[in-house]
Chains A and B, each alone.
Chain A
Amino acid sequence: MGQPNTNDSKWGKKAMTPTVEFYHNRIRELVAERFASSGKPWNDAVVDPNLEFTKADFEKIEAELLATGYRFEMSAQISQQEEPDKYKSLVGVQDSGNRERDEEGREVVGTGDNVFNAKANVIGTARMISNVEIVMEMLINGVPDGTIAIIDDSGGTLTAPILEGFAGVVCMGGTVRSHLGILTREYGVPCLMAAELDGLNDGDTIEVEFARQGEQANGGDSNSRRRIWKIEEIGGK
């Protein structure tokens, strides 16, 4: 009896992403090698504890990928914190130097999908809320009035203890249905999701288009993206 499922699956194809392709391909190769050298039929080999993969086997596969120079994209802060050598450096908000201006000549530094139509736009100070330390500081000292949180995490847990204190939220990920979208709607904190930002700095004074006359709640259903204007750059420019 042959091995029933290997790299030569009739309709198989490469995975879309590099880590999945590398890991799964490598594991399949090792399974095939182990199976062939065991001399056992598949039914016996697949349940043989002596042929099982171990934690050390998987550590070796990861090491093989890292040895190629590949570094992983991080999601959770703790991952890069514990193993900085395995992860790429974080990239902040980019600055194209070629930002649009609106009909009144105001500089547009981003757009996003509105979670709900607020009563008014919000003008405040943009603060990058991207790690546990910043949240802890605001938890202990309070969220400064007029803080518009710029968050690159569509989850609802990083900012859990301080979310209610924000004047507004701009999230660089997710959709209006993401956890952060659900929670800001419940709290009534105006929020843009899936924001694309250009040239926005921590500390800039911004206005966010959380309200648009004539539109009802659930602005996320709208086709038009809401804008973020830079009113004053940090440092007073």
Chain B
Amino acid sequence: MPTKNHSYAELLELNSWIRKCSDTFFWLCTTRTVQESKLFPVNPYIALSYLNAWYRYPQLLRKLEEHMSAEDIGDRAREVTTYANAIANGIIPQFYLGGRQILIDMGMISPTDALDDVAYVLDFSRRLNLSYHRNHAHILASDANQRMQLLPERVVQVFEADAFPVKPGDRLHTAVVKFLAQISQYAFLSHAECRLGIHNSGPYMVGENSEMLVRDFVDLAEGDLPWLDGVASAVSYNNLTIPVILKDTHFHIVDDWASFEATPAYDHANMAAVGVYTSDYLSGGYLPVAMDSPDTLAEFLENEREVLRKATSDLWKVMATWSRDQLIDAGLLVYYNVPKDLFHIAGIYEQEDWFTVEERAQRFKPLMNDEYGRDLIAELVGYISLSSQQGNEYVMSKYSMARGDMWSTIPYSVLSDDEFTTSVGQIRGGSTSLPAKAGLYTTTKGKLTQEQANAEAKKLDCLVFEDKYRFLDDEWMKLHPNDPRAQELYLYSQRNSRTLKGKGASLLRGDFISPEDK
């Protein structure tokens, strides 16, 4: 009997999303190289993370939506910086489809298998990304010509107004430059050689010759990553957001992996103003960090840089003693757990859901030597050369002109025959070779246990998440700047601002910048 769970219209939409994912992932992968590391077996862990995603995402994401919808979570994620950001949200369907494609190519499943699971995970990820990217009304940065304007005016205004002017050679400029290098280094190491700890969004136009890039660094402190227990005990904040305003610089690419390229190339010498904020799933917005004066901010960055430098050194010493299986598990789990902060937002985060490897993924480890891992990932996402990826002899793929596409679509035959299955079934436990999480979770409400953090998230009640305000976007604001609700929204976002507190909704740039900066 054909499927009764899915309509033709739904499958058309889902296959379009699958193909968009294929095309964007291909562009992203081939503008880099196959990533290798002497420390981490990167490609074996990437392949295994895809498989873990395939077996686990359907059940976990369904559980999530029993508590909070993808759209609600996307709205909340957009107001703060967490791991639930553009790169992580956008990559959920990619990793899941990667696991599916590997198994299809091995002949272990067919494109019509786990139909209900595939449809659900894809639909969830599409709704999540639509909601998260609502402000620019695209689903991905690549749809906006590699641009990612996530934030409404009320937030960007505060970032600009509160940013401290800097110039090369002054204390704050020097502190920021050195801090950015150290935190980038730390983020790559803490995330097992992947870029998922680093995020950029924007740019936003700031006057005629300047643009603002919002630079984020996530999962820095003792928290979800169990290997940060102890070594990151002195790290002050779990997530940091650093809006930087660069003069005479155009960010022509801020892509789906939250990486940027600029013309001319990003040069710290062009940094004209900067601020620092923290936020998380409990903060309900951005909180300024040491933003009382340029000196207090410089002092914080100088001190925190030393903290991160020590944490980098200590963490490296720990990782240098790990077994291959531990190194693989760390990277595998960082990749696989890209949806984890959605569960923090909903208040149902369980460490075991995101830091164990399901037995059906574990069994593939004997295959995952360095060469197979490297070549599998290269063929899967770069060359599009796997047998299962090939189309007919007339096919010309979007970017590559290849005869095939990265991810197989769902055959429409499921609407007319019974050759399909519905699900991969229930999660069958999991294990890891890494030490278990033992420490607390660093949040903007202090260091909490998992249960405390979940309870705080569930009771989080802030104005921007209320239905009365949630749907008041910039398109509405255009015609309602004097509406009391607009005033309340702006006052909420300005509540911690050094310069804009209490200014309200009618504010324009010219009201708070000096004439010479216009």
Contacts and interface: CB of A to CB of B under 8 A. Distances in A.
Q: Do A and B bind each other?
A: yes
Interface of A: 1, 3-7, 9-20, 23-24, 27-28, 31-32, 42-43, 46-47, 52-55, 57-59, 61-62, 72-79, 82, 86-87, 116, 130-132, 135-136, 139, 152-158, 160-161, 163-164, 173-175, 177-179, 182-183, 185-188, 216-218, 221
B63 interface: no
Tell me what chain A mostly uses at the interface: helix, strand, loop, or mixed.
loop
Given A19-B375, A186-B184, A216-B265, A155 B106 contact: no
Please list the 7 inter-chain residue pairs (A to B) with the smallest Cβ-Cβ separation, ordered nearest first: A218-B265, A155-B37, A17-B375, A28-B107, A12-B387, A186-B181, A4-B110
Contact of A19 (B186, B372, B404): B372
A179 B192 CA distance: 12
A46 B419 CA distance: 11
Interface of B: 31-33, 35-43, 104-113, 177, 180-181, 184-186, 188-189, 192-193, 195, 259, 264-267, 312-313, 316-317, 319-320, 322-324, 327, 360, 362-367, 369-376, 378-379, 383, 385-388, 390-393, 403-404, 418-421, 425
A78 B110 contact: no
A11 B393 contact: yes
A136 B391 CA distance: 50
18 contacts: A4-B112, A4-B419, A11-B391, A12-B387, A13-B390, A14-B387, A23-B367, A24-B106, A32-B107, A61-B366, A156-B193, A163-B185, A173-B33, A179-B193, A183-B185, A185-B266, A187-B181, A217-B264
Contacts of B418: 1, 43
Contacts of A78: 39, 41, 322-324, 327
Nearest to B109: A46
Nearest to B423: A47
Given A58-B367, A186-B180, A76 B185 contact: no
B107 A6 contact: yes
A179 B265 contact: no
A15 B382 CA distance: 13
Point out which of B264, B312, B369, B376 has the most chain A C-beta atoms below 10 A from its C-beta. B369
B106 A160 contact: no
A30 B46 CA distance: 25
B10 to A, nearest CB: 21
A24 B393 CA distance: 22
B367 A132 contact: no
B38 A160 contact: no
Contact of B371 (A1, A7, A73, A182): A73
B379 A17 contact: yes
Nearest to B180: A186
A131 B192 CA distance: 16
B363 A54 contact: yes
B366 A59 contact: yes
A204 B106 CA distance: 48
A24 to B, nearest CB: 5
Contacts of A132: 38-39, 320
Nearest to A187: B181
A12 B387 CA distance: 4
A156 B185 contact: yes
A79 B390 contact: no
B419 A42 contact: yes
B363 A53 contact: yes
Given A11-B393, A53-B108, A53-B363, A153 B38 contact: yes
B43 A75 contact: yes
A140 to B, nearest CB: 10
Contacts of A87: 369-370
A96 B53 CA distance: 46
Nearest to B359: A55
A27 B193 contact: no
Given A5-B107, A55-B362, A177-B31, A157 B189 contact: yes
Contact of B369 (A19, A158, A216): A19
Given A75-B374, A160-B189, A47 B425 contact: yes
Point out which of B31, B39, B193 has the most chain A C-beta atoms below 10 A from its C-beta. B39
Given A9-B387, A75-B42, A173-B36, A182 B184 contact: yes
Given A18-B375, A161-B317, 13 more contacts: A4-B419, A7-B107, A46-B108, A47-B425, A58-B364, A61-B366, A78-B323, A132-B320, A154-B35, A155-B38, A174-B36, A186-B180, A186-B184
B33 to A, nearest CB: 5
Nearest to B369: A72
A5 B110 contact: yes
B388 A17 contact: no
A157 B367 contact: no
Given A55-B366, A75-B36, A157-B189, A188 B181 contact: yes
A150 B108 CA distance: 43
Contacts of B379: 15-17, 20
